A = this chain, B = another copy of it.
Amino acid sequence: MARAATTTDAFNAVAEVRRREILQHLAFSEMTVGDLVGRLGVEQPSVSKHLRVLRDVGLVRVRRNGRHMLYRTNAAGIRPLHEWTSTFERLWAHQLTRIKERAEAEEKVQEE
């Protein structure tokens, strides 16, 4: 079997750096495809294709304005990612604490 399609879910869609960049650019203001092309320095067809993927998984919304397409990030689509990572939050806090404790124990040894 091959890798899962990029349009399978938000996790797969967001694996690509360009698409993460796009989502950030569209997070707090609508933007045109042309705007994105300018800001990312990527060819227009590439941008359109990435936007297609993001649309398919519901990570962006579009509306037309004349011959321009106005895209914006649909933050709700990112929420599942946030929640999945949150389940590990306690864990890394814990692990960092242990690392800190060890470091302090080491320090104490140094002092003696």
* A residues in contact (CB < 8 Å) with B: 3-4, 6, 11-12, 14-17, 20, 23-24, 27-28, 73-76, 78-79, 81-82, 84-89, 91-92, 94-96
- Report the nearest B residue to A91, measured CB to CB: B75
- Report the nearest B residue to A15, measured CB to CB: B15
> Inside 8 A of A95's CB, which chain B residues have their CB?
74-76
Q: Is the CB of A15 within 8 A of B4?
A: yes
> Inside 8 A of A16's CB, which chain B residues have their CB?
3-4
Q: Given B11, B27, B73, which contacts A14 in the complex, CB threshold below 8 Å?
A: B11
Q: In the A-B complex, list the 4 residue pairs whose CB atoms are closest, starting with the nearest.
A: A75-B92, A82-B85, A75-B91, A15-B15
